[in-house]
Amino acid sequence: MMDWKNKVFKIDLCARTVVQIGDLNRERGALSVNEGPAAMGVTAEGKVKVFWRQGGGLWIYELGGEGISAKKENLRGLWEDAGGGG
């Protein structure tokens, strides 16, 4: 889950625990209203991926396992190469 302050949490409903695994506040910075939404997914390996649009970029931020490693990448070029963004 990601809250409105861009903090990412791992929630275990069985154990009834909530643990913060990342903070994207610096990565996402100041967003306009239409840039606010983000999509999240978790890979089979347990990596959390967060996607959002900001300015001219289409960003992905990946948190490894428990948030130990992280990387940010702009996918805009890939999107344009695939014929998107018309």
The reported pTM is: 0.75
CA 53 to chain centroid:
10
Tens of pLDDT along 17-64? 999 988 888 888 877 777 788 899 988 888 889 999 888 888 999 987
Token reading at 34: 């239409």
Q: Please, what is the end-to-end C-alpha distance for the chain in angstroms?
A: 31
Predicted local confidence at residue 14, as pLDDT? 96
Tokens of 53: 């649009």
Q: What angle do CA 10, 63, 72 make, to 5 degrees?
A: 140
CA–CA separation, 43 vs 24, rounded Å?
Answer: 18
